[in-house]
Structure 1
Amino acid sequence: MSERTAVGTRDFLLPDLGEGLSEAEIVEWRVAVGDVVTVDQSVVEVETAKAVVDVPCPYPGRVVALHGAAGEVRPVGQPLITIAPLDGADAPDPHATYREEERAGSGNVLIGYGTGHGGPGRRRRRPRLAVAPEPAPTAPAAVPAGPAAPTGRAVPGASSTPTGSLAAADREPEPAPAGGPAAAPLVISPIVRRLAKEHGIDLASVRGTGPGGVIRRVDVEAARTAPAARLAAVPDAPDAHVGLAPTGDGDVVVPLTGIRKVIADKLSRSRREIPEVTIWVDVDATGLLETRAAINAASPDAPVSILALLARICLSGLRRYPQLNARVDTEGQRIVQSAGVHLGIAAQTDRGLVVPVLRDAQRLTTRELAAALAETTASARAGTLPPARLSGGTFTLNNYGVFGVDGSTPIINHPEAALLGVGRIVDKPWVVDGQLAVRKVTQLSLTFDHRVCDGGVAGGFLRHVADCVEQPALLVANV
């Protein structure tokens, strides 16, 4: 994970990210040149195609070089940060340093989990107050010698809040001195900074409506849609990383990078390789809504969502029709049916469409499904799920009804073989026992790989799901 360079310095290389990921984009440096870092200290936040994670450095010493600026994409195996050993009084006991490194391991681990001696779980970062980047100084500020703790000073485009300090969001910002320069814009969320950069919004021109004047996402959106919205890019933003770049003719160019590139590649591959077919049916979901209301009335402290009930119904259907819980191995010329149902849940996030996975979902009760779905989708939208939680699904449930649409012909999440889509639930006229009535109606669609099964299996699965939605009591016979 490192290369020895001149005068004893070490290059820490961007570690193997796993899950087929070969590069990462630098979101924010946690340290600056001259800072002293300790073993396993987080030095940079990077964004892969699947998650935003912290990278810990396995070497102690002083930072002498940062390879790459915020917004730059770095390939795996290339230098990320250069560390020099501490000299004289600054240098710790060499044997202690060796023991620290031995406990830390090589650093060749999945980023976001530390390098060995940390706790079993990943700590959630508290929000930190950041300021808009300023032009880079001509030379780095001098760093006093001595065993000082890491300062975490910002580099251009990075947060200026020292690592490990109290969350600055808990404090009221100090006003600018009379007659002095205006206070820098207050930003907490990396998403806000990214949105401003993508839309060419100068944060200095945005009025924050959050506590103490903190700029929120809605403020950036308002500035983007305002007639006088500024189109100039944020200072120091790399040209290739500006998400929306107006051209001379007024066209907007959106570069396919990061998660958008992965989504485009995966969906294109799905369309190229999978001969997909979509079938659909309208169903009366009145009984399903009544069942959910009865369940939640009995235990209001552990509510069950409609999505959790639909997931339970899908699991029942896949137990009866396991052909759809499969994938096609094109190299081996075979169909592989999975022993467990690793249920993917399509979730729209600020970074794009992701599909977090509930592994062995068939082992969960309906209430456990509800809790797992709520936690997983919330973590996906926050960007805190590790890459392993965003791959390996065998069947996907897509609730596109949240967008106010009735139906869709979605693209299968390659290499899975099927996807169930659910439209919005609305009042519609429906015939019940020969009489016209107003019922809660939704449309279900099943998109499946015609290589794994024929219409009989696909139709049987969709009809089973529809029957269980209309008569939830049928689930009792299958659980």
Structure 2
Amino acid sequence: MAQVLEFRLPDLGEGLTEAEIVRWLVRVGDVVAVDQPVVEVETAKAMVEVPCPYGGVVTARFGEEGTELPVGAPLLTVAVGAPAEDDQGSGNVLVGYGTGAPPARRRRVRPRAGASAGPGAVPDRPDRAAAPSAAGSAPAASAAPVTAPKPSGEPVGPMGPVPVISPLVRRLARENGLDLRELAGSGPDGLILRADVEQALRAAATAAPVTRVPAEPSRTVSTPTRAERTPTPTRAGSAAEPAAAGMSAAGTSAAVAPGTRVPLRGVRGAVADKLSRSRREIPDATCWVDADATELMNARTAMNATGGPKISLLALLARICTAALARFPELNSTVDMAAREVVRLDRVHLGFAAQTERGLVVPVVRDAHARDAESLTAEFARLTEAARAGTLTPAQLTGGTFTLNNYGVFGVDGSTPIINHPEAAMLGVGRIVPKPWVHQGELAVRQVVQLSLTFDHRVCDGGTAGGFLRYVADCVEQPAVLLRSL
């Protein structure tokens, strides 16, 4: 007899707790093999295909494309033929993604007398009775529907759990203070769909009374409902946006200008969280200097004229950074406020900012201090290509100790970078442009670049930061200075 096994979103590693479904690679009824990719998801770090550890027939999928799921949420169920083989799974591990053991069996919650069972799976399956519930109940040999165990925060009706199509619908209702027990689901067997919740939120926003301040001294101001206070977390352009209309602090109605809401999630959400944390926790300061980069550009031209792989300007700047960090190790560190210690790091894992269609990402070159310019050039090219293709792994986007930001590629001269938490500093490089410059006592047109260093003032003072930046500028102006550290 076939057994139905549930495959949940695996542990993503690197502190990642959720992922967005980008594209399903299988449909209900498809036959899948062990370790066959079944869904493409986007995390805060990268896009990756998730393989299924079971082989069999897909009986249900949980979540539509664009849905965000937490780690451990059901992805799909698979009907397999050999129970002994299924219980073991594949045992294979994708980088940062473990298939692990099959889900543990859970006690079924039986409905009270007269209650109808309400499974919470997404209705993208031909036979709802043959699949386990979305809450993760164990596979059963019987074809009778099984009521899902009540997740944390799920409303319980007078006769058992409220049948809801997915955890996303429960979260949408919870964040807007909506009681699901008061809704009549439009899905099969009264299943509450997302459209039902959004319609209820729109109705609540429309029916909310406009509070008027009476002329009498004794003023009574009604309190806005949570649905009025909290914007509805829907995708851009959704009809649920009117629920975002709120009340002003004085209690009078406030008109909300129409606009497009863009969810902060995935890479953009991760960047927002990290930059906000950096601003909250790091007392940063910035210093900058102009440098004559003419000799550096000439040196690069001479290197590339000798044949062999071309050396990138970014690689030369990275080589200068690692030499400077060897002289000023305070800037290759992190702060442990719990222990009230500055941790100086032995290795330089150099991050560099790369702009992609999915947003700004910071790939990390491991052991950059041990690489020459040719090796750095190749690694920068490899990671940049992977970033643009969206195939970087979480390990390639974390663990940096210092960041190099070449914003000159955007045609700007200067900037004050925000430190990539939990690092201690970031070097910014502007565009290299011809400018009037005093060279050997005479005015000449030289290739000039602005360098800026943002540093954590807890790890060093301005003298150390200034010394680091001055050394970098000296190497840019006279590349022969690097020969001392080669």
**The two structures share one fold, judged by TM-score above 0.5:** yes
Contact 1:345 1:397 in 2 (8 A): yes
Residue type at the aligned position of 1:18: G
Match of 2:60? 65
Partner secondary structure for residue 80 of structure 1: strand
Equivalent residue for 2:235, pick from 232, 237, 241: 241
**Aligned equivalents of 2:93, 2:469: Cα separation in 1:** 47
Match of 1:409? 416
Residue type at the aligned position of 1:65: A
Partner secondary structure for residue 395 of structure 2: helix
User: Deviations along 1:422-458, whole A, 9 cap, x unmatched?
Assistant: 0000010000111110000010000000000011110
User: What stretches of structure 1 of length at least 5 have no aligned partner?
Assistant: 1-5, 117-137, 143-237
Structure 1 residue 8: Cα displacement: 3.1
**Aligned equivalents of 2:65, 2:365: Cα separation in 1:** 33
**Aligned equivalents of 1:410, 1:44: Cα separation in 2:** 36
Partner secondary structure for residue 315 of structure 1: helix
**Aligned equivalents of 1:109, 1:386: Cα separation in 2:** 7
Match of 2:297? 289
> In structure 2, do the counterparts of structure 1 residues 75 and 394 end up closer, same or farther at CA, with 3 Å as the change threshold?
same
Equivalent residue for 2:350, pick from 343, 356, 371: 343
1:142-161 → structure 2 map (5 Å cutoff)? none
Equivalent residue for 2:36, pick from 32, 36, 41: 41
Match of 2:277? 269
Equivalent residue for 2:96, pick from 85, 92, 110: 110
Contact 1:278 1:409 in 2 (8 A): yes
**Aligned equivalents of 2:391, 2:320: Cα separation in 1:** 28
Match of 2:336? 329
**Aligned equivalents of 1:277, 1:20: Cα separation in 2:** 29
Contact 2:2 2:80 in 1 (8 A): no
Contact 2:54 2:89 in 1 (8 A): no
Contact 1:15 1:110 in 2 (8 A): no
Residue type at the aligned position of 1:346: A
Equivalent residue for 1:15, pick from 10, 15, 25: 10
**Aligned equivalents of 1:270, 1:16: Cα separation in 2:** 26
Contact 2:58 2:79 in 1 (8 A): yes
**Aligned equivalents of 2:124, 2:264: Cα separation in 1:** 34
User: Deviations along 1:297-347, whole A, 9 cap, x unmatched?
Assistant: 012x30001100000000000000000000001111101111100000011
**Aligned equivalents of 1:243, 1:57: Cα separation in 2:** 34
Partner secondary structure for residue 12 of structure 2: coil
Q: Indicate yes or no: 2:299 matched with 1:260.
A: no
**Aligned equivalents of 1:108, 1:469: Cα separation in 2:** 42
**TM-score, normalising length from structure 1?**
0.68
Structure 1 residue 404: Cα displacement: 0.7
Structure 1 residue 405: Cα displacement: 0.6
Q: Indicate yes or no: 2:464 matched with 1:478.
A: no
**Aligned equivalents of 1:375, 1:7: Cα separation in 2:** 45
Contact 1:55 1:114 in 2 (8 A): no
Residue type at the aligned position of 1:73: E
**Aligned equivalents of 2:365, 2:376: Cα separation in 1:** 9
1:68-217 → structure 2 map (5 Å cutoff)? 68-86=63-81, 97=85, 102=88, 104-105=90-91, 110-111=96-97
Partner secondary structure for residue 65 of structure 2: coil
Structure 1 residue 387: Cα displacement: 0.6
**Total equivalences in the alignment:** 347
Partner secondary structure for residue 253 of structure 1: coil
Contact 2:235 2:261 in 1 (8 A): no
**Aligned equivalents of 1:244, 1:408: Cα separation in 2:** 37
Match of 1:56? 51
**Aligned equivalents of 1:356, 1:464: Cα separation in 2:** 25
**TM-score, normalising length from structure 2?**
0.67
**Aligned equivalents of 2:467, 2:9: Cα separation in 1:** 49
Contact 2:402 2:426 in 1 (8 A): yes
Residue type at the aligned position of 2:298: E
User: What stretches of structure 2 of length at least 5 have no aligned partner?
Assistant: 102-122, 128-231, 243-255
Structure 1 residue 366: Cα displacement: 1.1
Partner secondary structure for residue 305 of structure 2: helix
Q: Indicate yes or no: 2:363 matched with 1:361.
A: no
Residue type at the aligned position of 1:339: D
> In structure 2, do the counterparts of structure 1 residues 114 and 313 end up closer, same or farther at CA, with 3 Å as the change threshold?
farther
Residue type at the aligned position of 1:110: G
User: Deviations along 1:103-160, whole A, 9 cap, x unmatched?
Assistant: 821768623x9889xxxxxxxxxxxxxxxxxxxxx98689xxxxxxxxxxxxxxxxxx
Structure 1 residue 240: Cα displacement: 2.4
Structure 1 residue 241: Cα displacement: 3.1
Match of 1:148? none
**Aligned equivalents of 1:34, 1:249: Cα separation in 2:** 46
Equivalent residue for 2:383, pick from 376, 381, 386: 376
Partner secondary structure for residue 252 of structure 1: coil
Runs of 4+ with deviation above 6 angstroms: 113-116, 138-142, 243-248
> In structure 2, do the counterparts of structure 1 residues 107 and 466 end up closer, same or farther at CA, with 3 Å as the change threshold?
closer
Residue type at the aligned position of 2:5: R
**Aligned equivalents of 2:288, 2:338: Cα separation in 1:** 31
Contact 2:92 2:99 in 1 (8 A): no
Residue type at the aligned position of 2:317: L
Point out the structure with max Rg over C-alpha. 2
1:452-463 → structure 2 map (5 Å cutoff)? 452-463=459-470
Return 308-317 or 374-383, whichever deviates more: 374-383
Contact 1:244 1:254 in 2 (8 A): no
> In structure 2, do the counterparts of structure 1 residues 7 and 38 end up closer, same or farther at CA, with 3 Å as the change threshold?
closer
Taking only aligned residues, the RMSD between alpha carbons, in angstroms, comes to 2.6
**Aligned equivalents of 1:31, 1:105: Cα separation in 2:** 21
